């Protein structure tokens, strides 16, 4: 019999890979590491040349604290991408603090 057909190429549309953190934390869970690994693989398979990492926080706590938390979250994701082979020079970071929460919460 003929060999099986090759797998379909990955979808290379502009996609996002949300990484969630525990409340008031910036360390990576196993699930977060898996999502980042998937993003790094997709980047390599699709020839992506620029990656944007956006850090967010909820509205609990002071706005200035939440900016710092979102920066720490973005930095830890960037560092993991670099560890997985994504060149640091291709990664830009944004820290939104509580101004753009991924999940709406009360103050």
pLDDT by residue (tens digit) across 30-60?
Answer: 999 999 999 999 888 888 889 999 999 988 8
pLDDT by residue (tens digit) across 60-104?
Answer: 889 999 999 999 999 999 999 999 999 999 999 999 998 987 777
DSSP codes of every residue in 17-81:
------TT--SPPHHHHHHHHHHHHHHHHHT---EEEEE---SSS-HHHHHHHHHHHHHHHHHHH
To the question of pTM greater than 0.95 for the whole model, the response is no
């Amino acid at each position: 019999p003929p060999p099986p057909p090759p797998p379909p190429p990955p979808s290379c549309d502009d996609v996002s890979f949300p990484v969630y953190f525990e409340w008031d934390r910036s360390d990576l869970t196993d699930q977060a590491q898996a999502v980042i690994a998937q993003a790094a693989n997709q980047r390599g398979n699709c020839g992506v040349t620029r990656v944007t990492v956006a850090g967010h926080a909820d509205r609990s706590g002071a706005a200035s604290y939440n900016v710092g938390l979102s920066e720490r979250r973005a930095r830890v994701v960037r560092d993991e991408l670099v560890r997985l082979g994504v060149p640091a020079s291709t990664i830009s970071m944004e820290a939104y603090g509580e101004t753009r929460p991924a999940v709406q919460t009360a103050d």
